[in-house]
Amino acid sequence: MSEKIYLSLFTGFLLLFSSALAAEITAGETEDKAIETHSDESVTPDTRKAVTMQQLLQSSAAPGRKALLDQIVAIVNEEVITLNELDSAVATARRNLLQQGIEPPELNSLQNQVLETLILKSIQLQHAKEIGMSVSDSELDETIRRIADENQLSLQAFYAVLEEDGISFSKFRQDIRNEIIMARLKERQISSQVNVTEGEIDNFLRTQETSGSSDEEYLLAHIFISVTEHMDNLKILERSRRAEDALEKLRSGADFSHVAAEFSEAPDAMSGGILDWRPMAQMGPTFAQLLSPLDIGEITPVVESPNGFHIFKLLDRRKLENRSVIIDQTRARHILVKVSELTSESDAKEQIIDLKRRIDNGENFAELAKLYSEDGSASSGGDLGWLSPGNTVPPFEKAMDALLPGQISEPVQTQFGWHLIQVTERRTQDVSDEKQRENARQAIRSRKAEVVIQEMLRQLRDQAYVEYLAEDV
């Protein structure tokens, strides 16, 4: 059971974490934290290499330590990837592929694929550290509790299942911490660069109405070979030939999942390259025109984009259902006391308990919210407006749903701090039009976000110093 938990975690983790980010308690503005970054332009790749190698030699020569130099397969900026790390990651990747019924590629190809994944992961984590991004132990604990809950396990049972299958809990925690950091790094980039206007939503919906395939969505698998802006024509031609080699294997009858594991550089390469269901309109006009005439099981030729070369396979297609969306909505207000460097968790809890006591003794909830709540709703007495299911984080929503109109919750803890919640009204609402526009907004945002993330990863990779030390990897 734990292997299923561990394997399914990372395929869905970005969605899980993005949902948590999107589920800010307030529908208003979020605080932007200015983070200073700096770079030393005087540090060239050659000087960086010299410094790094000197550090490695000093490390390997330290008394009581094993010689590490012969175990290092790659240097990534100021860090290294060891053969042990690579072997462990390759073994995990191979096991994951077999559990999905995918024949792993030859060892050398799999090693190269996994090594590139480790390099890109290291680059992202180093960049996140440079800009001050981190995950607290309390945030990590909360995420692991959510994972256990979603697998219908208590924390003790969850730990036991991991231990039974030989998964180190300390390594599991570090893996989750790293995944959270990388997800936040991507979300930070998306938030700063992706904006969807009402005009774009109107155009999107008009295009759907006039397009013959607007009511369809596709299940796709893909293979992606990247190119970067610093590659010369010869290198780009080499990447193009690699994509054509993959296509030739597919046309010779090779399984798509196997070829994706061998060739693709997308994050989903080790899960068969399978993308989630996507509305045709989300694909963009170029890809939509290419994919719409395909039969199920058919493969596209190599398609070039600014980021690289793509091959798609149509796995399935279906009609989008245009049903009325009727939901229960809650109007609520809250008081939030945040945990910060100045306010400890115990102090925040004590303050919210004191506010609850004052409200129970007759003081007005809205007036106290104006005075003490630490979010954008304070000026309106903590009013959050009408909330739909999923608009708030799970602990908040669970406590809110248990209240009757007029009732006030006991103190509720979320990752944002401590809350008091009061439900003021409930209603059943037809939100079909709102849902249609929200779906359009998410489709446009998703399409833009993919471009932004690919560009961010490409720039980070181009700017990083990477040296390969193992000749047989």
- Residue-wise pLDDT for 383-419, tens only, equals 999 999 989 999 999 999 999 999 999 999 998 899 9
Q: How confident is the model at residue 340 (pLDDT cuts 50, 70, 90)?
A: confident
Residue range 148-193, pLDDT digits in tens: 988 899 988 998 988 887 788 888 999 999 999 999 999 999 999 9
Mean pLDDT on 28-56: 38
pLDDT above 70: percentage of residues in the chain: 82
pTM equals: 0.67
Q: How confident is the model at residue 425 (pLDDT cuts 50, 70, 90)?
A: very high
What residues form DSSP beta bridges with 326? 430
- What is the structure's pLDDT at 396? 96
DSSP for 398-449?
HHHHTPPTT-BPPPEEETTEEEEEEEEEEEEEE-HHHHHHHHHHHHHHHHHH
Residue 46 has pLDDT above 70, yes or no: no
Any long-range contacts for 65-74 (C-beta under 8 Å, 24+ apart)? 72/469, 72/470, 73/115, 73/468, 73/469, 73/470, 73/473, 74/115, 74/118, 74/119, 74/466, 74/467, 74/468, 74/469, 74/470
- What is the structure's pLDDT at 63? 40
Ranking 166-170, 200-204, 246-250, 395-399 by mean pLDDT, the lowest is 166-170
Phi-psi region of 76 (alpha: psi -120 to 50; beta: other; left: phi over 0): beta
- What is the structure's pLDDT at 450? 87
Ranking 46-50, 122-126, 344-348 by mean pLDDT, the lowest is 46-50
Q: How confident is the model at residue 430 (pLDDT cuts 50, 70, 90)?
A: confident
Q: What are phi and psi of 251, to 5 degrees?
A: -70, -20
Residue range 279-311, pLDDT digits in tens: 776 777 777 788 888 999 999 999 998 889 999
Domains defined along the chain, listed by start: 2-31+39-193 (1.10.4030.10), 212-322+448-466 (3.10.50.40), 326-430 (3.10.50.40)
Q: How confident is the model at residue 212 (pLDDT cuts 50, 70, 90)?
A: low
Q: How confident is the model at residue 471 (pLDDT cuts 50, 70, 90)?
A: low
* Higher-scoring residue by pLDDT: 25, 247: 247
Token digits of residue 34: 């200015």
Mean pLDDT on 216-231: 89
- What is the structure's pLDDT at 52? 43
* Higher-scoring residue by pLDDT: 324, 468: 468
